[in-house]
């Protein structure tokens, strides 16, 4: 998946998208992704609706049941998917976000041995998930997303994160609670955030001071390791032998604090620094 000039290279639909986005109305680059379901049968009907210039609704990307993506609006233009919405100190999330609509029937009602969508289509048990919505307290029935859709959305979000500084991945239900319930509990939103946003943050936090880990190697036949940085401190373990790898954590008064399997202090004269390399 490649984004060039705010368009997915292969998935961009070549029709007059400008009329269905807010055209030349510019905005800063998006930093939020909003996940929706179409509450419809397949992607095609939603795409046709979004193409209809009389309908004041659009989305950047529609994800079909087989995982096929169709992009309708370039990512740097506003699409009308969020409506009245708020998150933290922001209102009207369309200005900040990329809207992804997943073809899914949404909430279902049980009738006999089948489940029925609001538009009358029936679904067998294997296409149904029973779960409690984050904004509700009782379980209800939801149309299952296909694995192809879920992996396509994960892949799309990952691709978007490479092109844009994405800070939030949110469900419509979170920015318009009370008014909207999509994508609902059948969509693994927490997992998506964990995998993409938290992983990103952990990498950032791993080395907060931006310091490199300095590695050293013991350059003496036998090197005492002590609880503090001078010979007045007790040794804390058997001496380190020549060529033992250590991580240098601190330096005081001619001593390094190092980490081997334990942490202690050694005379720096007997530790040779190894070319430092940044941990990844
Ligand atoms: Zn929605």
Domains of the chain: 3-205 (3.40.80.10), 214-274 (2.30.30.40)
280 residues of the chain, pLDDT tens digit each = 889 888 888 787 755 554 555 544 557 899 999 999 999 888 888 888 887 777 788 899 999 999 999 998 889 888 899 999 999 999 999 999 999 999 999 999 998 889 999 999 999 999 999 999 999 999 999 999 999 999 999 999 999 999 999 999 999 999 999 999 999 999 999 999 999 987 766 655 554 444 566 888 998 888 999 888 888 888 888 888 888 888 888 888 888 888 775 567 888 888 888 865 544 5
Question: What's the gap in Å between 81 CA and the centre of ligand 1?
Answer: 6
- Judged by DSSP in three states, 106 sits in coil
CB 256 within 8 A of CB 250: yes
Angle at 167 between CA 66 and CA 129, to 5 degrees: 40
pLDDT in tens, 33-77: 999 999 988 888 888 888 777 778 889 999 999 999 999 888 988
Contacts 24+ apart (CB under 8 A), 65-69: 65/103, 65/146, 65/148, 65/149, 66/146, 66/148, 67/146, 67/148, 67/149, 67/151, 67/152, 68/11, 68/43, 68/152, 69/8, 69/11, 69/152, 69/156
- Cβ-Cβ contacts under 8 Å for 276 (sequence gap 6 or more): 212, 213, 214, 215
Ion ligand 1: residues, CB within 5 A, are 36, 172, 182
Question: What's the gap in Å between 10 CA and the centre of ligand 1?
Answer: 25
Question: What's the gap in Å between 175 CA and the centre of ligand 1?
Answer: 10
Name residue, tokens 């033992």.
244
Question: What's the gap in Å between 280 CA and the centre of ligand 1?
Answer: 37
Distance CA 139, CA 137 (A): 7
- pLDDT value at residue 204: 54
pTM of this structure: 0.69
Count CB atoms within 10 A of the CB of residue 49.
17
- pLDDT value at residue 254: 85
């Amino acid at each position: 998946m490649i984004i060039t000039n705010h368009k997915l290279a292969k998935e961009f639909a070549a029709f007059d998208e400008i009329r269905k986005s807010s055209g030349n109305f510019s905005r800063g680059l998006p930093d939020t992704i909003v996940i929706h379901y179409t509450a419809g049968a397949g992607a095609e009907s939603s795409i046709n609706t979004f193409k209809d210039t009389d309908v004041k609704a659009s989305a950047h990307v529609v994800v079909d049941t087989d995982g096929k993506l169709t992009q309708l609006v370039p990512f740097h233009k506003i699409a009308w998917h969020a409506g009245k919405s708020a998150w933290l100190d922001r209102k009207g999330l369309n200005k900040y976000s990329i809207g992804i609509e997943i073809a899914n029937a949404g909430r279902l009602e049980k009738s006999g041995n089948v489940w029925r969508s609001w538009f009358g289509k029936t679904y067998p048990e294997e296409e149904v998930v029973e779960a409690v919505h984050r904004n509700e307290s009782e379980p209800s029935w939801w149309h299952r997303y296909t694995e192809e859709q879920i992996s396509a959305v994960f892949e799309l979000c990952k691709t978007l994160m490479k092109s844009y500084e994405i800070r939030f991945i949110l469900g419509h239900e979170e920015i318009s609670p009370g008014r909207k319930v999509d994508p609902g509990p059948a969509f693994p939103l927490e997992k998506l955030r964990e995998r993409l946003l938290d992983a990103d943050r952990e990498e950032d936090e791993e080395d907060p001071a931006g310091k490199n880990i300095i590695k050293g190697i013991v350059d003496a036949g036998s090197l005492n390791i002590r609880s503090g940085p001078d010979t007045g401190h007790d040794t804390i373990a058997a001496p380190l032998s020549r060529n033992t790898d250590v991580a240098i954590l601190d330096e005081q008064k001619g001593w390094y604090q190092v980490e081997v399997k334990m942490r202690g202090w050694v005379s720096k004269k007997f530790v040779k620094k190894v070319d430092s390399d940044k941990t990844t």
